[in-house]
Chain A
Amino acid sequence: MGHALRIVLAVGLCLATPISAVEDRFAAERQQMLAEIEATVIDTRRATGRSRLDARVMTAMGTVPRHEFVPEKLHAIAYANRPLPVGHGQTISQPYIVALMTDLLEVDSDAVVLEVGTGSAYQAAVLAELVRNVYTMEIIEPLAIAAQQRLARLGYRNVEVKFGDGYYGWPEKGPFDAIIVTAAVNHVPPPLVAQLRPGGRLVVPVGERFAVQHLLLVHKIDDERIEIRQILPVRFVPLTGGHG
């Protein structure tokens, strides 16, 4: 009897908790997340060449409800500074990495961006806050369907999700001002570079699912010239004694 009462009480409390209170809690956690991102960016400025991220990127990170993009059982740690599993063997990167990758794309509000590897669509949502259109491709069908529904529910009208092979990009929607490849790749797909507008940037996180090792930034200066930068997202100088 007592046990049943406790359950009823708990359910009642949950039902009685206003949604605004839940949102407020997440808003506070988002602010905390932004503070951590800012601190890490300052900490890693020598490695990344960025002492602060674009204010628009930070605003987008502070706007997107990250908890909506992770399984419900992970809501409590949705804004923790860590990568999170989203099912089907996929993850979303830790917030600092998401912010840094977004910043490296250097997109303006009129940009058109392609994402390869939608996952739960968190990265797509962050980009959607910043640019005109986001086209995102996912090779795992259940993820693509869930992402599409999630984005629609949250009101992201400028994101289009396509189930399919991202290797050849989405030529009908290109050329793109920026491309982000969150799927694992063993080489940079040449079709994606081809669909990048001159001056455009392509970013790939390199490493295993729960530990990004470095970021690959491909800058297409013009149709002839491509520059690749490998950016270590951490303040760590391996060489000592004047060798570095």
Chain B
Amino acid sequence: MRRIFFSIAVLSAGVLGYEILLTRLLSIVQWHHFAYMIISLALLGFGASGTFLTFAGQRLARRFNVAFVVNAGLFAVSSFACFLFVQSLPLNLLEISWSADQLRWLALAYLALMLPFFFAANCIALTFVRFPDVLATTYACDLAGASLGCAAVVWMLHVAEPGAALAPVAGAGILAAVVAGIETRWLRWSASALVLGCAGYLLQGAPFALQVSEYKGLAQAKRVAGATVIDSRASPLGLLTVVANPEVPFRHAPGLSIAAPVSIPDQVAIYTDADSATMINRYDGDRRSIAYLDRVSSALPYHLANIDSVLVLGSGAGADVLQAIYHGAGRITAVEMNAQLVAFVRDEYAAFSGNIYRDDRVSVRIGEARDFVTRDRQRYDLVQMTGLDAFGAATSGLHALNENYVLTVEALQGYLDRLRPDGLVAITRWIDLPPRDGIKLFATAVSTLRTRGIDQPGRRLAWVRSWNSHTLVIKNGDLSADQIEALRTFADDRRFDVAFYPGMTRQEANRYNILSVPHFFNAANALLGTEHKAFISNYKFRIAPSSDDRPFHSHFFKWRHFPEMLALRLRGGMGLLELGYVVLIAALIQAIIASVVLIVLPLIWMRHKPGTVSGSAWSRVRVIGYFLPVGLAFLFIEIAFIQIFVRFLGHPVYAVAVMLASFLLFAAVGSQLTAVLRDTIDERRKLVAATGVIAVLCVAYVVMLPMVLAHFAGAGIAWRAGVAVLLVAPLAVAMGMPFPLGLRALRGGSAHLIPWAWAINGCASVVSAVLAIVLAMYFGFTAVILMSVTLYCLAAIMGWRGLGRAPASPQR
């Protein structure tokens, strides 16, 4: 029988494309962390496929052509149908802590979305079983196709809305079936698949509408009388939806002072992924119309110094830029990652916004904040960063597992480096109660100043709060008496509370927005005192400063207080639970339980099914001991390095696309290398060499990468992408070798264990994707990399004997 390679590549491209697309779609209709959880579980379809094929693999392999085409077709159909089905479920994940019903809907969503991955994985694993002599090449095609799919879907998300991209991705299944028919010369199957695909396309009809959760900001806004969606645009960075409401204005003015009310201008809202609104303010050049921007806490720095040059990080729809204009800044640099968002303000709504993004004083740069700060050489009087998007999501712990590289110690160092002498960094965030976000930010600022050798960091810090926002100012020098007086006047005039300034007394705290305890003042003093480590350790939330190695600013959860929070859940304490983190842990537990079931089931079956047992129990232990660490370690390294390089490349979506595609492509090269070098190098030596390369490179990268990346930080994006690919290539090549080497060792007498090995690898990949984030939260990404080295070494030890007994049948 003729082998199939191209169809595997096409199918894998579809599967990876589907996974990425599903993340986007579920992030829009639900929230991104739930998308993460659902998809991580759905990927267990790979593990389930291995388990299923352990039972039925040999039988299906005998009718390979039919099985392949049918499974590829089922991938196509189910990828479409299952998403529509999940969208139709009354799934409200915000209610999950209250309702057992929601757990049932969630389980149904998992099962439904598992199906496409299950069918696609069946195709790949069946090919391993049917053509064991070329499995390294098959695996290489699988990885190379996935690499292609990654790049293709990112491109597709640029040119089409995510909903419209689903049909082409599903079509990859049909295409794979057609190609498989051609490759195997079973043209009638090819023709059948083509007909099925055309019929499906015609039946699908018009693009479907995304059913956004009714609790998301966009859904809420659209229910208000007069609300109209006037525009939308999509990119991998998010789906932007522009909403206007001439009848009921948005009046978005977070933290606006209750004193001396001022009017809020007309606004147009831009929602990202149906949540997180940023507003374009109507501005006609009359400063009085935007006076409200002086009545919010983020206006503080303009009252502490004469600000001429401002760097606005994350300028969004331009409120901070407008605030700088209001206060008379002469040079404003606005950095915004989403070019489409900038285009709305600069082009479509130029007149409405007062042409602020075309103003001579304003220079708009598209890019990521950290990346810009690293490469910029200008100096500023003020670096301003305001993070007031979706309040509910921001304060309910939904961002707990987001990596946040703009609020780490290293990030604050970068901002301070961009300041002129006596310049200011100002960061504004939502207030959460009991306080944790603000206190962690203050702790990060103190740590940053101490790292810079400042003995008295308190002399450089000023902090104010309204009832729902706070602004921390870090000065590049000691605050003067005049500045302290200006701070007090600013706060008193607006009925804001001063949370901290050097020399502040307890009596001055907690005067207008009264908390049961002056938490902010107490925390600031504790963090500046000699007992700051004890304070951080004893605080009920995780408030230790975040770093680039552990960039989880919004991770406040401490296990030792979990029982208390859980007990208080029904007693008014639901807000204490950090939903994003709870979801992550729930996903991990579910993945582990499901993986154990999927791995153990075939074992039980093999023990009781006559004629299926080959080798000793020890050989099966070796299979687990080999494929489990290989599966875990691959994703550990991939996730950790993607994080490191994302910062280096500066743009998360393109960086993830480049890195993921590179990892997969070079791993494909590694896999193929095991086949090419089949006759020249002993299998065990290849494994040892691969493990050695992985270990040496990982350790070397951990030690040297920061220096190397710093050296190239100022280079253009093409150069940096080239450097990233070059650095990843040898590592990925080595990482692509252990899995096919292990599979090849199972050929011959243990061939029936190949699907089981596939199941173990699939399950391990799912667990490791979640586990890597959990481990990084506690130990950092460096530790995750070093753990993966240990896992590869463990696999090499387990695989040493097995590989020595690999049958020698040359790959054709």
Contacts and interface: CB of A to CB of B under 8 A. Distances in A.
| A pairs with B | yes
B433 A230 contact: yes
B570 interface: yes
B89 interface: no
A241 interface: yes
B261 A190 contact: yes
A165 B220 CA distance: 14
Given A83-B98, A209-B392, A243-B526, A230 B568 contact: no
A17 interface: no
Contact of B516 (A82, A88, A167, A232): A232
Nearest to A206: B468
Interface stretch (A20-28, A119-127, A212-220): A212-220
A226 B391 contact: no
B622 interface: no
Contacts of A83: 98
B294 to A, nearest CB: 14
Nearest to B534: A241
A77 B707 CA distance: 59
A137 B575 CA distance: 27
Contacts of A207: 392, 395-396, 575
Contacts of B248: 139, 165, 167
Interface in A210-244: 210-214, 216, 218, 226-241, 243-244
Given A211-B396, A213-B433, A240 B540 contact: yes
Contacts of B501: none
A36 B220 CA distance: 32
Contacts of A46: 516
A103 interface: no
A213 B575 contact: yes
Contacts of A240: 538-540
A165 B99 CA distance: 32
Contact of B570 (A82, A165, A226, A243): A82
Contact of B391 (A49, A186, A231, A239): A186
A62 interface: no
A226 B258 contact: yes
A234 B517 contact: no
A216 B523 CA distance: 22
A241 B579 CA distance: 27
B513 interface: yes
A141 interface: yes
B516 A210 contact: no
Nearest to A232: B433
A238 B539 CA distance: 6
B95 A85 contact: yes
A244 B526 CA distance: 10
Given A212-B574, A238-B541, A228 B512 contact: yes
Interface residues of A, number: 58
Contacts of A244: 517, 519, 522
B254 interface: yes
A206 B431 CA distance: 11
Contacts of B184: none
Nearest to B497: A228
A209 B575 contact: no
B214 interface: yes
Given A209-B215, A210-B97, A236 B568 contact: yes
Interface in B204-231: 214-215, 219-220, 223-225
Nearest to B565: A236
Contacts of A167: 248, 251
B468 A243 contact: no
B573 interface: yes
A167 B573 CA distance: 29
A51 interface: no
B522 A236 contact: no
B59 interface: no
A216 B468 CA distance: 10
A230 B522 contact: no
Interface string A187-222: 111100100000000000011111111101010000
A68 interface: no
A89 interface: yes
B515 interface: yes
A205 B535 CA distance: 30
A160 interface: no
Contacts of B252: 186
A44 interface: yes
A228 B515 CA distance: 9
B130 interface: no
A32 interface: no
B704 to A, nearest CB: 41
Contacts of A211: 94, 97, 396, 574-575, 577, 579
Residue among A47, A85, A210 with most chain B CB within 10 A: A210
B63 interface: no
B285 interface: no
Residue among B436, B468, B538, B571 with most chain A CB within 10 A: B571
A40 interface: yes
B393 interface: yes
B438 to A, nearest CB: 12
Contacts of A239: 517, 519, 522-523, 538-540
A53 interface: no
A158 interface: no
A140 interface: yes
Contacts of A82: 98-99, 570
Given A207-B396, A228-B513, A236 B214 contact: no
Contacts of A227: 512, 514
B467 interface: yes
B347 interface: no
A54 interface: no
Given A46-B516, A211-B94, 11 more contacts: A81-B570, A88-B214, A140-B223, A163-B225, A208-B94, A211-B577, A213-B396, A216-B467, A218-B258, A228-B467, A229-B513
19 contacts: A85-B95, A89-B220, A139-B223, A139-B225, A184-B391, A186-B256, A186-B388, A187-B254, A187-B258, A190-B258, A206-B468, A208-B215, A211-B579, A212-B575, A213-B432, A228-B258, A236-B434, A237-B540, A239-B522
A-B pairs, top 7 by smallest CB distance, nearest first, are A190-B261, A208-B392, A233-B572, A89-B214, A187-B256, A213-B575, A234-B573
